[in-house]
């Protein structure tokens, strides 16, 4: 099973997002955060987050690029619980039992999208506000001959 993991190709995420997700965090599109937004809210760093940000599932910060990476069943279960808790804490879900199915659907959707691509495939997201709501587009960058680890950071920089 595969999932999206935050990578940094450079330091730009630290400058363009209010909170940047850390390399190695698991990530989902996080488009739910913008379901009621209007053009008036799309300014500055909020515009960048809206237009190009994946949602990291540890910091709940944003990232520009994710890579398809293997994930275990246990890690997937932890992500569902973390996202459900985030829905309660940040989005007003009444309790974990109500939030868990929605979180599981979000995690399942991301896993299905990643399972369509080989590991080390890079993915970027582009969002736009349309008359009918938010529209997501995903750009897929197939893995190159070099291992992703040779030029991108997947996890902690600490030894």
Instruction: State the distance between the two ends of the chain, measured CA to CA, in whole angstroms.
Output: 27
In the numeric block, the tokens 């950071």 are attached to: 153
- Domain assignment of residue 158, yes or no: no
Judged against a pLDDT cut of 80, whether residue 153 lies above it is answered with: no
Output the pTM of the full model. 0.87
Judged against a pLDDT cut of 50, whether residue 50 lies above it is answered with: yes
- Domain assignment of residue 159, yes or no: no
Coarse DSSP helix, strand, coil percentages of the chain, rounded to the nearest 5 percent: 40, 25, 35
- Domain assignment of residue 81, yes or no: yes
Domain membership of residue 7 as a residue range? 2-150
- Domain assignment of residue 157, yes or no: no
151: confidence class by pLDDT, cuts 50, 70, 90 = very low
Overall domain count for the chain: 1
CA distances for 4 relative to 23, 32, 41, 44, 62, angstroms: 11, 17, 27, 26, 13
- Domain assignment of residue 156, yes or no: no
- Domain assignment of residue 69, yes or no: yes
Grouping H, G, I as helix, E, B as strand and the rest as coil, residue 29 is: coil
The neighbour count for residue 45, using CB atoms within 10 Å, is: 14
């Amino acid at each position: 099973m595969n999932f999206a993991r935050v990578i940094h190709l450079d330091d730009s995420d630290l400058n363009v997002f209010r909170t940047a997700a850390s390399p190695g965090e698991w990530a989902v599109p996080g488009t739910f955060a913008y379901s009621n937004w209007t053009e008036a809210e799309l300014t500055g760093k909020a515009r960048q987050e809206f237009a190009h940000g994946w949602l990291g599932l540890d910091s709940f910060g944003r990232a520009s690029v994710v890579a398809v990476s293997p994930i275990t069943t246990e890690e997937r279960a932890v992500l569902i619980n973390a996202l459900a808790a985030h829905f309660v804490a940040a989005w007003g879900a009444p309790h974990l039992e109500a939030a868990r199915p929605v979180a599981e659907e979000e995690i399942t959707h991301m896993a299905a999208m990643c399972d369509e691509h080989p590991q080390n495939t890079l993915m970027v997201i582009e969002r736009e506000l349309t008359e009918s709501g938010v529209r997501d587009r995903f750009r897929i960058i197939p893995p190159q001959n070099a291992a992703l680890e040779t030029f991108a950071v997947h996890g902690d920089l600490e030894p």
